[in-house]
Structure 1
Amino acid sequence: MRFAFDKMHGLGNDFVVIDARGRDVPITAARARAIADRQTGIGCDQLILLESADGADLRMRIFNADGGEVEQCGNALRCVAQLTGARRIDTAGGLVKAGADEAGITIDMGAPRFGWEDIPLAYALDTASLPVGWDGLEQGAAVNVGNPHIVFFVPRLEAIDIERLGPTIEHDPLFPERVNVNIAEVTGPASLTLRVWERGAGLTRACGTGACATAVAAIRRGLVQWPVTVSLPGGDLRVDWAPGESIRMTGPAAHVFSGEAELEAFG
């Protein structure tokens, strides 16, 4: 069978979006990996499958490049909101609201969660400052923003080898569902520079949920004030959050091209 798709990106974090509303487009882990492959497939960080939903405009399913299905993706939410006009999007991480204005696409990500069992961790620890470390990365903050994140603040971002440490931390037994790894440098009273090792996808040019988790962790520690500008290799996101409230993330989304392919070509 042939399927139509749209290639999109949010600050360089790129997606293949398949609208499966009204038709069955069966996606397995192996098929998602094949579509995401940049040499033999279409190529993307994540495959996004859109389905019909009750109580929302649509349901968004997210498959990382390794084929694993995950709960949430902030950059993909902005892309889907722009592509479809959806304003209520159901995800495995919860119902998300979207809006658009001259500043870009704004996503209401809901309230962050900080309980050790919400991350989840393998055992009870203080998620505001984890008493564990990896090669000098210490006092990480754990935050769930629809998916699990650990955030480290360092004096010089370029001094950290995230490509070496990222997979080690992602797969540490402390994180039974693995974890997204964020390393940030505070660059001003309301600004951060961030790099993210994304669970199941590796080093990415941008991570919307990572920007949200990092901004929340920085605000909790009193390192920055809100709204926070989070600078990633692909560009900037604005994150607004006050304790007890929902996170609001604003940034761009871009449509690259539309195409068609044979599903059987991917297994």
Structure 2
Amino acid sequence: MDFTKMHGCGNDYVYIDCFKQDVEAPELLARTLSDRHKGVGGDGVILICPSETADAKMRMFNADGSEGRMCGNGVRCVAEYLFRHGYASGTAADVETLSGVKHIVRREPGLLTVDMGAPELAPEKIPVTGFAKPVVNELVEVNGGAVRMTCVSMGNPHCVVYVPDTAGLNLPVLGGAMEHSKWFPEGVNTEFIQILDETHLKMRVWERGSGETMACGTGACAAVVASVLNGHCKKDTDVDVLLLGGTLTIRYTGDTVLMTGNAVEVFTGTVEV
């Protein structure tokens, strides 16, 4: 099986071109190829498939084999792949996902902007249980302590928590506790945010099914939406989110969320499965 290794801000996946080859048991394939010691290595596997409604369809599988609805860094890389390999022309491409069709503009090779759509704040749509109204700066108990969380869906569930300093966090404990807490029946991605100023946020993320990753595009979008809701950032303003793997620029207009970031091809190869 031929594959391409790509990353967006260090959020790396193994990409498989399903225009040219079929994939059986993608859940098992993701667990096998994502292993950083015995496989190719990555945060998961993304299939680039034919679509009846867009230039291509993205199917994204986490490192544990679970299928995700959306990946912001992944969809940029899918679009970059489409441009590089002649599946899309010009400067715009549409990619079908489980969270709808995403429109991507290629500003230059390797730099793309994705219209991520409107954030979802209704608790039942995220989903987050135990709340009748949008969860903004709500105090909850987790792992024996208290945190304030803001919940947003960007096609997948996110919980944003503000901290004084992201460097000293015990992310496996805190992130794992949030992922498996009673409030999130489908698990959750948790963004731990340090506010630098109103246009710069520092972020570490715990992704459900993968653990800590170098970056999370939908998580960066959720962080900026939450920061606007909490009064830390301004609406319709570019905000740089500093992640372990690089920087994403996010703009929440009030109607939609625009995400700009890189998409890098690392290497190609062939693996026996």
| TM-score, structure 1 normalization | 0.93
Alignment of 1:102-117 (within 5 A): 102=108, 104-117=111-124
Contact 1:137 1:152 in 2 (8 A): no
* Percent of pairs with identical residues: 40
Counterpart CA distance in 2 for 1:137 and 1:229 is: 28
Unaligned runs of at least 5 residues, structure 1: none
**For structure 1, which segment, 194-203 or 162-171, has the greater mean C-alpha deviation from structure 2 after superposition?**
162-171
Match of residue 127 from structure 2: 120
- 1:94 CA drift (Å): 1.3
The reply on whether 1:8 has 2:16 as its aligned counterpart is no
2:138 aligned residue (109, 130, 135): 130
- 1:137 CA drift (Å): 4.9
SS in 1 for 2:241: strand
Contact 2:203 2:241 in 1 (8 A): yes
1:180 aligned residue (180, 186, 189): 189
Contact 1:22 1:52 in 2 (8 A): no
1:246 aligned residue (210, 234, 256): 256
Match of residue 157 from structure 1: 166
Kindly provide the amino acid, as one letter, of the partner of residue 6 in structure 1. Answer: T
- 1:136 CA drift (Å): 4.2
- 1:51 CA drift (Å): 1.1
Alignment of 1:1-267 (within 5 A): 3-85=1-83, 86=88, 87-102=93-108, 104-125=111-132, 126-134=134-142, 135-225=144-234, 226-243=237-254, 245-263=255-273
Cα deviation, 1:157-176, whole Å, max 9, x if unaligned, reads 23432221111110112111
| TM-score, structure 2 normalization | 0.91
Contact 1:10 1:254 in 2 (8 A): yes
Counterpart CA distance in 2 for 1:250 and 1:17 is: 20
Counterpart CA distance in 2 for 1:146 and 1:7 is: 24
Contact 2:139 2:146 in 1 (8 A): no
- 1:100 CA drift (Å): 1.2
SS in 2 for 1:111: coil
RMSD, matched Cα: 1.5
Counterpart CA distance in 2 for 1:108 and 1:133 is: 34
Contact 1:121 1:174 in 2 (8 A): yes
Counterpart CA distance in 1 for 2:167 and 2:141 is: 18
**For structure 1, which segment, 27-36 or 57-66, has the greater mean C-alpha deviation from structure 2 after superposition?**
27-36
SS in 2 for 1:262: coil
Cα deviation, 1:184-227, whole Å, max 9, x if unaligned, reads 01101211000000111111111111100001100111101221
- 1:123 CA drift (Å): 3.4
Contact 2:151 2:159 in 1 (8 A): yes
Contact 2:26 2:61 in 1 (8 A): no
- 1:124 CA drift (Å): 2.8
| Pair 191,206 (structure 1): closer, same or farther in 2 beyond 3 Å | same
Kindly provide the amino acid, as one letter, of the partner of residue 261 in structure 1. Answer: V
**For structure 1, which segment, 160-169 or 226-235, has the greater mean C-alpha deviation from structure 2 after superposition?**
160-169
Cα deviation, 1:62-101, whole Å, max 9, x if unaligned, reads 0000000010111111111111125100011111010111
SS in 1 for 2:271: strand
